[in-house]
Structures are given as C-alpha cells and as structure tokens.
Amino acid sequence: MQAVASQTLLRTGHATEPVRPYDPAYDPLVSPNPGQGRDYAPTYWIGTAGAPPEDDGPITHDVDVDVALIGSGFTGLCTAIHLARDHGIKATVLEANRVSWGCSTRNGGQAQCASGRLKRSQWIERWGRDTALRLHEEVCAGMQTFKELIADIPCDPQPGGHLYIAHRAKAMPALEKEARLLREVFKYDARILDADTVRREYVDDREAAGAMHEPEGIGIHAGKLAFGYLRKARALGATVHPSSPVLGWETRGGVHYLRTPGGVVRARAVGVCTGGYTSQGLHPQLRNRLLPILSNSIVTRPLTPQEIEACNFRTHQVITDTRVLRHYYRLMPDGRVQIGSRSAITGRDAPQEKYRAFLERDLARKFPALAGIRIDYSWWGWVDVSHDMMPRIHQPQPAESIYYALGYGGNGVMYSAQAGKRLAQWIAGRGRELDLPIFTSKLPFPNVRELVESQAFAPFRRLGQRVLYRWYHLQDEVL
Ligand SMILES: Cc1cc2nc3c(=O)[nH]c(=O)nc-3n(C[C@H](O)[C@H](O)[C@H](O)COP(=O)(O)OP(=O)(O)OC[C@H]3O[C@@H](n4cnc5c(N)ncnc54)[C@H](O)[C@@H]3O)c2cc1C
C-alpha cells in the first residue's frame, strides 16, 4: 500500500490529559459513542503503572492516511506494531478517550493459550478434528507472538501456566475428559491434579475439588503492557491519537471519511479494534454483532505473610475456576490478591455496591482468612462476546477496505497480539492466506434474526442474558 499523504505529526512530549472524568455507568448498547477524552477507570493497573507515556495528541485538522485503526487497546496497538514491522505501513490509531482506556487497562492480566470462550472439545464438535487442530496451532502460535512482543516490555510477567480449578467435585469428570483430549489429540500437556495436590502445592482454595494444570499461561501487568505497546507502536512510526472518537463514518470512492471532533480522517483502509466498547452506530457491519458483557474486578491490600500462609498461596500463576460465570484470580507480585467475575447486566447498574460485595463474598468463600480484608481497587469493564463465542479477524465485504478483530470473549490479553498480526495481514492485502473459520466468516448474528434487525433488539438480548445468568447460576451452584 502506498502512502496517500503524510500527516503533520503533533508531538506533545507527554500523555494527553483527560478532559472528562471516568464514566462508571457507560454502556455500549445505550451510549451512541464511548465519550471523548475520558479519564481511565480507577484500576489497580492504572494506579500502579506509572505515568502514561507520550502520545500524538488529539486529531486537530483533516488528514489523509493510509490506514486508520479505531481503538487503542491491545488490539489496535498490536495491529499498528505488526503493520509497521511486517508490512511497512505506519497506521494512525484513533482513540475516543485515553490510550487503552477500554478492556486493555481493566482486565485480569491473564494471558492464556485460548481465544474465545469455547473449549477444544467444542471446537471439534463445531468444525471437526482437522480444523480444531489447526486452530490449536494458531492459538499456540499466538502465545509465541505474545511472548516475543512482551519480551522487552517491563510488564511484570508471571509465567508458569494456568491452573483451572474444579469449583466442586461434579466438575472433575468433564475436566479429566478435556485434559485427556488435550494430551491425546492436541499433544498439549495438560495434567490433572487432585484436591490435596492443589491445596498443598499451589493454593488452598477451599472450593477446589481438583484442577487441570496447563503448561501455558502468564500473568502480566495490564497497564504496563498497554503503555509498552504504545511506546513500541510509536517507535515504529505509528501515530496514536487519544480524545479522537470516530463519531461518523462515510465511504465514498473507496475512501473512508472518519469524522472526529478535531477533523476528518480520510483513510484508504480501516481496522476496527473497539472490543466491548463498540457502539451500535459505529458501522452497519457491526450493529448487533457483539454482546458486551460486564466483568468486575477487585484487588485487596497486600496480604501479610500470615495471610499468605493461611491461604497457602505458593504460586503467582493465573487461576480460573470451572463455573460458567467463572472467577479469575491470582496472587500479584506485590502480595495483593486480584479476583474478578461477572457483574451487572447494564452500565447503569454496574456501580451498585452489591456487585463488589458479591466478589468479596466469593473471595471469602475461597479463602476464609481473607473475609473482610480491605479492598484497595474495584472496577469493571465490557467484554466483547460474539454470538457464537469465538472471535473474528475478518474483512466482512470483499469490496470494502474495512476489517475487524473482535469477539475474544474475555480471552484477549494473549490473543490480541496474534489478532493484531492477522488483522495487519488482512489490511496489507494478505488476508486470503488465512483459512480458519475465525478468519473466513463474519461475526454472526444471534439466531433470532428478526429481533436483531429491529431497534428493540438490545433490550431483548439483555432479557435473554438475565435468564441465561440465572440458568448458569443454577448450573454452577445448585444442579
Ligand atoms: C474486567 C475484564 C477482565 C478481563 N480479563 C481478561 C483476562 O484476564 N484475560 C484475557 O485474556 N482477557 C481478559 N479480558 C479481555 C481483554 O482485556 C481484551 O480482550 C483485550 O484487552 C483486548 O482488548 P481490545 O484492544 O480488543 O479492546 P479494548 O481494550 O476495549 O479497546 C477498545 C478501545 O476502542 C475505543 N473506541 C471505541 N469506540 C471508538 C470510537 N468510535 N472511536 C475511537 N475509539 C473508540 C475505546 O475507547 C477503547 O479504548 C478482560 C476484560 C475485562 C473488561
């Protein structure tokens, strides 16, 4: 791709300051856009990452660019890095708020060898064994891409694998079956641990009825990683513009006109990297293709040596449990515990104290010694779940130079690095080489198509989500 015109760069020398406070009730299914110039959510990551690095300031006039990327989370920044490094294309990244304001500075920092919400056995059911094996190769390649990208970013990596804890005895047979499949079909060395071993050698989670340990899994500091990606992308020649929401999008004569408050960005190609913060009106190709779901996270004060002993935390490895509405937790390098799980259904309800209280209750259920411990950080964010639980890195219309990488379903810390590589490949004109279903098909609509196309769809989806959450709760705790 040839340069269209060079853009005058606005080097600010420092990070762009927020012009509006954080909005705790933001809801992508309700708000027409994610805001402009909003401050970060008050997360542990932002509280401990240090000052955000220099960016390129907001868009202040009309510009012509080759490639515009919308969204500056891990996906947008990794795509910019790969576009520059692998294809010589210097992208222009547009961000509505502060850099990496969305999921990428709100997650649990768990980099797992996964993408989407389906298990390997479900890949086989859906696509057959050969495709499942190739998908596994892609995800493992993603883990390598991720390791290589973070190698020179000081983001406190905690390697050692992923511990997948059976939250009750009933969950063990399915876990054993999955581990056998991982070993025998995928040649991936997943081991089953009994409850005593988990409690003695890893962590005394009082719910643990056993666990599956998989060799790949790294805990990272999400804020430091986001800032590292930002530095890397800019060092390679990409520009990153916070406080520049795309508020309108027209395409004429093969050129995309992206309207931001400071000017129109005319781009030959657009990559959409907006994750769970994708507004319904951003582009017709994306309307109703994602179900944004809230996830909550809390971080305790640093544990005393006695508390660490009482919980027998012998690892910093990333941990999840087998609930459908799963918990993700770990002991942080500074001795705090982070734990997260599902939250409210709507943005309006998210700030309610009861959601934080649920997490504190769940923490105490796993670790009675931590009942009532002071919570230093509490936040929530929108996870991008696709309607078939798998991501897509795709060009939805062959005639239009629009591409997206979306729908990781809460497994995007690692996979966004690989998705960025694949999205860059698509944008550089080499997408046809990609032949897995996550590259060759669109983000699907849910089954009830008529509802999808009606304006009333979002509330209906949320109604369905409420029913599903009740069902999952019964499955997880009662049945
Ligand atoms: C609470 C929580 C916990 C999670 N935990 C984990 C975990 O432990 N492990 C894991 O693998 N994954 C986890 N995830 C998911 C993971 O954080 C993401 O998949 C990953 O960070 C990739 O995000 P992204 O870059 O695709 O999107 P985001 O980081 O959400 O970035 C999208 C950006 O797009 C911007 N944007 C939206 N619309 C516009 C517009 N019109 N114009 C300009 N900019 C726009 C937004 O402001 C936002 O900053 C979690 C997510 C949440 C919310």
SS3 for 77? Answer: helix
Q: C-alpha 99: how far from its chain's center? A: 15
The whole-number pLDDT of residue 93 equals 98
- In a structure prediction context, what are the per-residue pLDDT tens digits for the chain, which is 479 residues long? 333 333 333 444 689 999 999 999 999 999 999 999 999 999 999 999 999 999 999 999 999 999 999 999 999 999 999 999 999 999 999 999 999 999 999 999 999 999 998 999 999 999 999 999 999 999 999 999 999 999 999 999 999 999 999 999 999 999 999 999 999 999 999 999 999 999 999 999 999 999 999 999 999 999 999 999 999 999 999 999 999 999 999 999 999 999 999 999 999 999 999 999 999 999 999 998 998 999 999 999 999 999 999 999 999 999 999 998 899 999 999 999 999 998 899 999 999 999 999 999 999 999 999 999 999 999 999 999 998 999 999 999 999 999 999 999 999 999 999 999 999 999 999 998 999 999 999 999 875 543 444 343 444 567 777 777 777 777 777 77
CA of 256 to the centre of ligand 1 (A): 24
How far apart are alpha carbons 171 and 380 in whole angstroms? Answer: 28
Ligand 1 proximity of 410 Cβ (cutoff 6 Å) = yes
Residue 428's CB is within 10 A of a number of other CB atoms, namely 17
The confidence score (pLDDT) of residue 447 equals 59
Annotate 376-416 with DSSP letters as a single string.
EEEEEEEEEEETTS--EEE-SSTTS-EEEEE--TT-HHHHH
Phi then psi dihedrals of residue 407, to 5 deg: 85, 35
Sign for the CA dihedral angle at 133, 137, 142, 147 comes to positive
- C-beta of 103 in contact with ligand 1 (< 6 A): yes
pLDDT at 465: 74
- Contact predicate 242/55, CB 8 Å: yes
Query: What dihedral do alpha carbons 241, 244, 246, 250 form, nearest 10°?
Result: -80
> From ligand 1's centre to the CA of 216, what distance in Å?
22
- State residue 202's pLDDT score: 98
Query: Ligand 1 centroid to 185 CA: how many Å?
Result: 32
Ligand 1 pocket test, candidate residues 277, 298, 329, 384, most atoms within 8 A of CB = 277
Helix and strand tally (H, E) in the chain?
A: 13, 18
Q: Backbone phi, then psi, for 166, in 5-degree steps?
A: -70, 120
In eight-state DSSP terms, residue 31 is: S
Question: In angstroms, what is the span from residue 368 Cα to ligand 1's centroid?
Answer: 32
Residue length of the chain: 479
How far CA 269 is from CA of 66, 199, 258, 265, in Å, comes to 6, 52, 11, 11
Q: How far is the CA of 348 from the centre of ligand 1 (A)?
A: 19
* Residue 294 Cβ contacting ligand 1 at under 6 Å: no
Q: Do residues 62 and 266 touch, judged by C-beta distance below 8 A?
A: yes
Domain parsing of the chain, residue ranges: 1-445
Q: How far is the CA of 74 from the centre of ligand 1 (A)?
A: 7
First to last CA, the chain: 56
Under DSSP, the state recorded for 348 is: T
Q: Residues with Cβ < 8 Å from 130, sequence gap 6 or more? A: none
381 Cβ inside 6 Å of ligand 1: yes
Q: State whether the beta carbon of 424 lies less than 6 angstroms from ligand 1.
A: no
Nearest ligand 1 atom to alpha carbon 99: 49
Per-residue pLDDT at 324: 80
The closest residue, in CA terms, to atom 50 on ligand 1 is 107
Task: State which ligand 1 atom lies nearest to the alpha carbon of 35.
Answer: 47
Give the CB-side neighbour count of residue 224, counting CA atoms within 13 A: 16
Provide the greatest CA pair distance for the chain.
Answer: 67
Cβ of 104 less than 6 Å from ligand 1: yes
Q: Relative to the CA of 282, which ligand 1 atom is closest?
A: 41
- Burial of residue 125 (CB within 10 Å: 0-12, 13-18, 19+) is exposed
The predicted pLDDT at position 45 comes to: 98
Q: Per CATH, the architecture of 1-445 is what?
A: 3-Layer(bba) Sandwich (3.50)
How far apart are the CA of 409 and the centre of ligand 1, in A? 10
CA 77, CA 241: separation in Å to the nearest integer? 11
Reported in sequence order, the residue ranges of 142-229 that DSSP labels E, i.e. its strands, are 162-165, 191-193, 211-214, 218-219
Distance between Cα 100 and ligand 1 center (Å)? 8
- Residue 393 tokens read as 């890195």
Q: Give, for ligand 1, the residue of 22, 40, 107 to mutate: max count of ligand atoms closer than 8 Å to Cβ.
A: 107
| Amino acid 5: pLDDT | 34
Report the phi/psi class of residue 199: left, alpha or beta, with left for phi > 0 and alpha for psi in -120 to 50.
Answer: alpha
CB hemisphere CA count around 370 (13 angstroms): 34
